[in-house]
Amino acid sequence: MKKLNVLLLTLLCCASCSRTPQATFTGSIGNYDPNDVLFIYVQGLEQAGYDTLDIDDKGNFTYTVALEELSEGIVFAGSKQDENGSDRSNSFCVLLQPGKTVHADIALRPLSVKFSGDEAAKSTYANQFYQAFSLSPSFIGDTLAAVHPTFATAEAFVDGEIAKMKATVETITDKTFTEEALSALADRRESALFDYAIGSEKIGRAMSSDADFGKFVADIDPNDTLQIGRIYNYIEWYYTAHPGLYLPLSAGGAKIKYLTEYTQNQDVRNQMANLYLVNVLFLASFGLDTSNSEFKDLYEQYLAVSTDTTYTKFVKESLAGMAAQEPGKEPIDFTLEYADGTPVQFAALMGSGHVTYVDFWATWCGPCKAEIPHLDKMAVYYKEKGLLYSAQNPQGKVRIISVSIDADRQAWLDKIAKDAPIWEQCIVPDIENCAGLTGYNIQSIPRFMLFDADGKLYRSSAPRPSEVETRALIDSMIQ
């Protein structure tokens, strides 16, 4: 956790060089206790986690940061026993504006805030929006459905809450900001009401029989590219209301296929199909394996429905990767190297009577390194039983191989020299043109794979060494 004085020194130095304008946030805590701590996270600021606000003994603070554009700051209230600001429910939002100062009068236990200073209304609105849509459960679809028996009562509640935010927006003189804020509120209103409909379907309340909901969706034009957001929300509701749609297609595949019925506009079909595909790419950015069969229907329907070629290459490669990852497939062959530079073919490492557990990793990957101690315990376990394959024990029934995708070969060599692992270590010498990385669609690491004693693929995404079922799974394969 960076202390404020260090951060300010860094920011002041940067500002003097780049002349980046400063945003200033001041505050006064009315019922300040010396154990109280405020943390701030500034959206878009390159920092590791939170900054701690430097509060004086009277409960006052000043926070200054170099910013190119208006940015959200989320302030968390905590205590000195909790230096991570982890209590999200005890937080508020402030807008930090380059060249301007905003002040907050803060009360704790319970938390409340009142803004003053430069364009305080913007921060007031931003905090109202944050409290309503990020913290409060009131706008969650399941909650709305449980509390409000009809679409009309849910609509009245949503409109009432949004009206409070609109009243704040109307006091803001920045026309551009106002237009964007009102647009965001309109989108949130739409989403909240569709979430209500989805929540209602989940508890057996058929929205197709609710006349007010019928009026709400009646003006959606499925062929209007300016209504993509509404069309997306409608299809999400429609699928929930028709859970058997196009079975046995998965949800993603069914929703894309439904576009051929719902809209005749190919541009709408393309944009909607891209939305569903981008959702998958978003999941992939968080490490989800998007090459497994769960997404096969979505990929196939995407190619059948969309004429947009933007993601065609990715989709076709993903489908090819799925085909290569079906159980019983022969391993994809590609070249690896041992630490001494000796080349070896990936396929040659499989079979010959031993089960092979493959770990794709890199030295720069934190989750990968977190698995190494567990992998070490697994290797020791099999070695003590005389089952770990090695050059000295070629009859071993379990072969463990770590495959590095480091571009920095020396970093890999240094790491394995330090750790001295007892299982095999290889590296991909050409990660840009590796048939295995492409064929197995390895988009995130760590990635573990299992091959059976005949060298055939058993699991394309095997459990990690840290998972309790991993050892039991391997044991079942060598019995």
Indicate if the alpha-carbon torsion angle 410, 412, 417, 423 is positive or negative.
negative
Q: Check: CB of residue 268 under 8 Å from CB of residue 223.
A: yes
Distances in whole angstroms, Cα of residue 294 to Cα of each of 181, 322, 458: 38, 10, 17
Q: Pick the last residue of a domain from 64, 92, 118.
A: 118
Would you place residue 320 in the very low, low, confident or very high pLDDT band (cuts 50, 70, 90)?
confident
Strand partners, 351: 354
| The token pair that represents 366 in the structure block | 């934190």
| The token pair that represents 465 in the structure block | 């060494």
* Torsion angle (degrees, nearest 10) of CA 438, 442, 447, 453: -30
What's the pLDDT score for residue 46? 58
| d(C-alpha 378, C-alpha 374), whole Å | 6
Residues 354 and 474 in one domain: yes
| pTM for the full predicted model | 0.67
Place of tokens 């394309």: 460
Residues 292 and 354 in one domain: no
Residues 296 and 397 in one domain: no
| The token pair that represents 40 in the structure block | 């701030």
| Whole-number percent of the chain with pLDDT over 70 | 90
CATH no. for residue 351? Answer: 3.40.30.10
**pLDDT at residue 66 is higher than 50:** yes
User: Would you say residue 170 lies in a domain?
Assistant: no
Q: Which domain holds residue 424?
A: 335-478
Query: For the chain, what is the mean pLDDT?
Result: 88
Q: Check: CB of residue 305 under 8 Å from CB of residue 255.
A: no
User: Would you say residue 368 lies in a domain?
Assistant: yes
Q: Check: CB of residue 96 under 8 Å from CB of residue 42.
A: yes
**pLDDT at residue 291 is higher than 60:** no
What's the pLDDT score for residue 435? 84
**pLDDT at residue 184 is higher than 60:** yes
Would you place residue 212 in the very low, low, confident or very high pLDDT band (cuts 50, 70, 90)?
very high
Residues 320 and 366 in one domain: no
**pLDDT at residue 16 is higher than 90:** no
| Crossing angle between the packed helical segments 266-285 and 251-262, to the nearest 10 degrees | 160
For the stretch 369-407, pLDDT in tens is 999 999 999 999 999 999 999 989 999 999 999 999 999
| d(C-alpha 348, C-alpha 268), whole Å | 48
Domains contained in the chain, number: 3
Residues 320 and 339 in one domain: no
What's the pLDDT score for residue 13? 41
Cis peptide before 110 (omega within 30 of 0): yes
**pLDDT at residue 326 is higher than 90:** no
Residue, of 50 and 247, whose pLDDT is higher: 247
For the stretch 25-63, pLDDT in tens is 999 998 888 888 898 988 876 555 678 899 999 999 999
What's the pLDDT score for residue 275? 92
